[in-house]
Structure 1
Amino acid sequence: MRHLANTTLGGVARLSELTEGAAGSAASRPAPVSDQSGAPLTLPFGACSSRSRLAETHDDAHESDPLLGGPQRSNVVEFRFSNSVPVTNPVPVDQSGGAVPVTQQQILEPDGRAIPYVEEGSGPIALVLISNLVLGSDGLGAVSHYLADEADFHVVRIGPRDGSAPSEASAQERADDSLAVIDHLGLAHTWIGGYATGGTVARVFAAQHAERVNGLVLLRVEQKQVELPPVIPVLIVQGAEDVLTPPTNGDELRTAAPERTSVTTIDGADHLFPMSHPIETAMVIEEYLDWD
């Protein structure tokens, strides 16, 4: 396992180096996205990278925060985009220009609970990501798709029960929901994690089911009193400019188990880093979870 320890991803040179294999050279990138009629499209996100990268977009309510319980979006898709090419309602494409399949959400109903989940990939490394928002707008779709499609991971995203967003269930109830899905899919062992509140739920799960957990992946660390289980490795990914869950949260959590906790801070990223920096986020996860 490659340990990243305390690292900061920043600067054009370093990020270009990280994304070279995933995004391809400028010559090999797909042309700017257009709609099915050939008309140019516009990106809803103000800050665009000079590199192609995976991202998510929605056809309305662009100004809302999709990771903090803003209005629900429709037509969520994953796509490649180039610098300064705003897009609305694009045709999904992969890095070769082909169509990206839209993964269907499924519902598990144990004891009358309706637990939504999305399963992608079938590789040897299993990763469960817990979301506090509905899966169509949780901001983790691009990261999950990259890990499943490019890194050959088996990725499962679990949303809040009964379609409530943000979830009204307690962390314990969400951990129980996650166990139900993990059992249903036959995962004897898995990495588990989540974004913000989802990461807190993952910590609760790991504390109670350490024998089922290969390690924790925490994207934005909440300042919650949930002890890290012993032995289990922990990866923390955070944005350097995050003022809602500042990087000091992850740094403080690392002090509880510095010998088995790695912290990667993405320079120039705020709390929306899974959407603004999806390839960087996914590649940090791939690097840490993948074995040589």
Structure 2
Amino acid sequence: MEFDLNHDEVNEGEKSGYCEKIIGGGGGGSGWSSSFTSSASAVSSVSSSIYFELWHACVGPLTSLPKKGSVVVYFPQGHIEQVVSSSSMPCLEMPIFGLQPQIFCRVVNVQLLANKENNEVYTQVTLFPEPELGERNVEDTGHEDETGEEEGGEVSPRMLTPHMFYKTLTASDTSTHGGFSVPCRVAEDCFPPLDYTQERPSQELVAKDLHEVEWKFRHIYRGQPRRHLLTTGWSIFVSKKNLALGNAVPFLRGEDGEL
């Protein structure tokens, strides 16, 4: 099942005559692929902009997406060939449909999605064919730049969530008997403040993943020297997400405190 991570966007993919394209973006932006899909598979609209930030943190910095309303060139034959190559029936022959080798299209919707089974993030782009645009000189690339500032002066939501950190998991982080060790500086920036007047300062954290599933962790400050740890609840998270040594985990906190 897939989840729509867009916010304040209207899904226009159900209009007739639209072409929907999937762009896989797991593994730091590598492994791009395409396939046909139904817009009905995208459900559960998310309202918080922190999910936009989280999606980009998972997909990696090498990914550039077209903006809604921009013009792109769609290559249907290449799309069909990719569908055949990824099919469970590799001998399947797909019809050509008599389509043009390239079709100028307007981007009418961009959905940021995540697969519930393996948490792989990808993009569904809905296109509306406008062949007459091929006769014009199209100069607008319609992509975000590396700083997160879109063409036209619009600022991407990625610039609005500064409280974020990554950590590559160590052996103790993935142990069923251990916890998640967090550097002091990033814990104080990303997590709610602890009451350091307590003998063993601790609190319960509630964080949501890409699918808005809540995970509860005990955040404690202890040890010699003292350090920040996520203890109770962390091993369950590791098990359910199939995390392993070397995986990277991002934590983000919105300005409203949402984790």
Question: Shorter-chain TM-score: what band?
Answer: under 0.3
Instruction: Report the TM-score when normalising by structure 2.
Output: 0.27
Greater strand content: 2
Greater helix proportion: 1
TM-score by length of 1: 0.25
Q: Greater CA radius of gyration, 1 or 2? A: 2
